[in-house]
Amino acid sequence: MSQTATDQPLLRIRGLTKNFGTVDVLKGIDLDIRSGEVVSIIGSSGSGKTTLLRCVNLLEEFQGGEIVLDGESIGYASRNGSRRRLGDRDLSRQRSMTGMVFQSFNLFPHLSAIGNVMLGLLKVRKLPRDQARQIAQSWLDRVGLGGRLDHYPSQLSGGQQQRVAIARALAMDPKLLLLDEVTSALDPELVGEVLNTVKSIAQDGTTLLIVTHEMRFARDVSDRIVFMERGLVAEDGPPSLIFDGRRSQRLNDFLGTARA
């Protein structure tokens, strides 16, 4: 849980709309996240959770509304009432303000654990090799993999691979870390180690936006829970309110079918 939350939102989303052709997927999302806050998004399959994260990470274009990250409107420039997608250079600069970890770890199979974490530091941050190695090593230590720096993904368990992916994202020093169902592809016995890693980085004050189906974890780790339904934020509040308070029939139904 955060120690450093301030009143100024780090992420401010207003009226975000997104469609894929004729399908409206996000229908006007409003969401604020303060620095140091841990926010979990829950909701049924297809409610738009991944799409929302991908819009924030600028992996998807969006048609309406605004995403402001650390005071900067991201993805688009508006001039004289017209709006255009920013160029690749601006998009990659803005994209580097957020880190994202996916369900499938997406590690490079031909690179060792430390090689995977160093890559962005070398290619994007353009750090000298020694410095990149030092930063990568300390993040791998941080996620409990200091003894496996030279292991290749195929020599690591799914939980270890996912922890490398988390270290790789954090090594780039993002303002906001987006986690999309980072335990969904894991065997049940490996889920706990990854959730514990996420809990521990949350305690460091990392700002986290987490999509998860792990309800107990969401309740334990989050400052706020956001319940998404059909492209809208249906509920947004502290875990106690979401899980214990008076709640809508739909949230009730969802929690009834979700894993406790």
Ligand X SMILES: Nc1ncnc2c1ncn2[C@@H]1O[C@H](COP(=O)(O)OP(=O)(O)OP(=O)(O)O)[C@@H](O)[C@H]1O
| Residues near ligand X (CB under 6 A) | 20, 23, 25, 43, 45-51
142 binds, options ligand X, Mg ion, none, Cβ within 5 to 8 A by partner type = none
Nearer to ligand X, 23 or 260 (CB): 23
115 binds, options Mg ion, ligand X, none, Cβ within 5 to 8 A by partner type = none
Q: Does residue 50 touch Mg ion according to CB under 5 A?
A: yes
Nearer to Mg ion, 50 or 160 (CB): 50
**Shortest Å distance, C-beta 56 to ligand X:** 12
Query: Can you list the alpha helix ranges (DSSP code H) found in 8-128?
Result: 49-56, 88-95, 113-123
Query: How would you class 207 by CB atoms within 10 Å of its CB: exposed for 0-12, middle for 13-18, buried for 19 or more?
Result: buried
46 binds, options ligand X, Mg ion, none, Cβ within 5 to 8 A by partner type = ligand X
Stretch that binds Mg ion, among 20-28, 47-55, 131-139, 243-251 (CB under 5 A): 47-55
Closest CB to Mg ion: residue number = 50
Q: Which helix (H) or strand (E) holds 127?
A: none
What is the identity of the amino acid at 22?
T
Nearby residues of 126 by Cβ (< 8 Å), 6 or more positions away: none
**Shortest Å distance, C-beta 13 to ligand X:** 15
What does the alpha-carbon distance between residue 156 and residue 159 come to, in Å, rounded to a whole number?
Answer: 8
**Shortest Å distance, C-beta 148 to ligand X:** 30
Pair type for strands 64-69 and 38-43: unpaired
Size of site (CB under 5 A) for Mg ion:
1
Nearby residues of 107 by Cβ (< 8 Å), 6 or more positions away: 116, 153, 161, 164, 165, 168
Nearer to Mg ion, 45 or 82 (CB): 45
**Shortest Å distance, C-beta 11 to ligand X:** 18
CB 70, CB 33: distance < 8 Å: no
Q: Which helix (H) or strand (E) holds 142?
A: helix 129-142
25 binds, options ligand X, Mg ion, none, Cβ within 5 to 8 A by partner type = ligand X
**Shortest Å distance, C-beta 18 to ligand X:** 8
Q: What is the dihedral of CA 18, 22, 27, 32, to 10 degrees?
A: -10
Nearer to ligand X, 70 or 229 (CB): 229
Residue 238, both tokens: 């502290």
The residue among 170, 161, 226 whose CA lies nearest residue 202 is 170
Nearer to ligand X, 145 or 186 (CB): 186
| Contact residues for Mg ion, defined by CB under 5 A | 50
